[in-house]
Chains A and B, each alone.
Chain A
Amino acid sequence: MFRSHLISLLVFSGLVSVIMAFIKFDEKKAIIRYAVKYFLYMVGGVILFSWIMRFL
């Protein structure tokens, strides 16, 4: 499974975003919102920057 950069990225981002959300918030709705946002920033950030790096 971890022989794929993408899958490793998704798993790591998923775990970290859930843990960070639980540390930061107590309310269920806030946890979900924060976790989803954090996950998207991480995954989107790596994909975006990897493409930017190619052209810089």
Chain B
Amino acid sequence: MTIRSKKKTKQKKEGVLRENIEMILEVLVLVFFINAFLLQSFGIPTPSMEDNMLVGDHLLVDKVAYSHALSQIDGFVFPQLEIRRGMIVVFKAPHEVEAGNLDTMTYVKRIIGLPGELIKIVESKVHINGTPLVEPYTFFRGDVLVTADFPPENAILWGNDFPTQFRKNLEYTEMGMAFRIPEGYYFCMGDNRNLSADSRIWGPVPKDFLIGKPWRIYWSFEASTDHFLNKGFFKRLFDTVVHFFKQTRWKRFLKKY
């Protein structure tokens, strides 16, 4: 092989390597870009939103709907939504962010109370500003893990994660003590009230912590909470591959929220 042909081969190899690196880089940028600005994938590991969201549902979350806006231009350019009661939201766990946990859990719950409203829960019935709320989406399944009443009558009964600065946001109403939701915060609860750790436990959710709105289910796999939370990665992967066709809930494919 002559020196010239050796040089040519080397140049060709470098060209192919560069091309591959550029392609990998572009794919990474694209994935990060979609994840940051358009859609993010989340899985549901617990039954706190049953029967509307099942354990094993995997969702695409629309990150534009509740995105931050500095001016009306954002609202004009993007199809942003005004946050209303009854909407389902995905958000960062406020108590974990406060605790400085970098690998923060994300939750999916329903907006029940809006900023400035008075909320009181008596025997599992939600009252907003003294008026009982009609909630066709609620379920009471499983052993009661969360107290049915809110705010707690006794100071000792506040959840450990409930921010201390908000424990005094109480006002006396005809029904007893009610909780005033601070401005810029939302009171979020799971649809399965018996098994949902939510604002009753760790307090209201700041608007800044909202990530997005569930858009569509792209895959639903019938499995227990244990499968998603306690099994090791390889065991989970193996079980998923083996039972993929049998346990996939095909009817939930592309279900819209």
The interface of chain A, by Cβ under 8 A from chain B, is 2-9, 12-13, 16, 20, 23-24, 42, 46-47, 49-51, 53-54, 56
Q: A11 to nearest B CB, angstroms? A: 11
Expressed in whole angstroms, the Cα–Cα distance for A7 and B69 within the complex equals 9
| Distance between Cα atoms of A44 and B17 in the complex (Å) | 31
Docked pose: A5 CA to B26 CA in angstroms: 22
* Interface contact A50-B38, CB-CB below 8 Å: yes
Asked if A7 and B33 sit within 8 Å, CB to CB, the answer is no
User: Which of the candidate stretches B60-68, B131-139, B182-190 sits at the interface with the other chain?
Assistant: B60-68
A5, B74: Cβ atoms closer than 8 Å: yes
Give the chain A neighbours of B22 by CB distance below 8 A: 23-24
Closest chain B residue, CB of each to CB of A46: B37
- Secondary structure class of chain A's binding surface, majority of residues: helix
Told that A6-B69, A12-B36, A53-B215 touch, could you supply 13 new A-B pairs with CB distance under 8 A?
A4-B68, A4-B74, A5-B37, A5-B63, A5-B67, A5-B69, A6-B77, A6-B78, A8-B36, A8-B37, A12-B33, A13-B33, A20-B29
- Give the residues in chain B near A2, CB-CB below 8 Å: 68
Interface majority SS on B: helix, strand, loop or mixed?
A: mixed
B74 touches A16 (CB 8 A): no
Decide if B154 is an interface residue (CB 8 Å cutoff).
no
B70 touches A3 (CB 8 A): yes
Q: Are A4's CB and B79's CB within 8 A? A: no
Residues of B within 8 A of A (CB): 22, 25-26, 29, 33, 36-39, 62-64, 67-71, 73-74, 77-79, 215-216, 256
B71 touches A4 (CB 8 A): yes
> Nearest Cβ in chain B — how far from A21, in angstroms?
11
Q: A5-B64, A20-B26 are in contact. Are A42 and B74 (CB under 8 A)?
A: no
Most chain A CB within a 10 A radius of its CB, from B26, B37, B71, B256? B37
Query: For residue A24, which residues in chain B have a CB less than 8 angstroms away from its CB?
Result: 22
CB distance from A51 to the nearest CB of B (A): 5
**Assuming A12-B33, A16-B33, A20-B29, is B70 touching A50 (CB within 8 A)?**
no
A23, A42, A50: most-surrounded residue (chain B CB, <10 A): A50
Check if B29 sits within 8 Å of A16, measured CB to CB: yes
- Report A34 CB to chain B, min CB distance, Å: 12
- The closest CB in chain B to the CB of A16 belongs to B29
* Chain B residues with CB under 8 A of A49: 38
A50 in contact with B74 (CB, 8 Å):
no
Q: Which residues of B sit under 8 angstroms from A8, Cβ to Cβ?
A: 36-37
Q: How far is the CA of A16 from the CA of B67 in the complex (A)?
A: 21
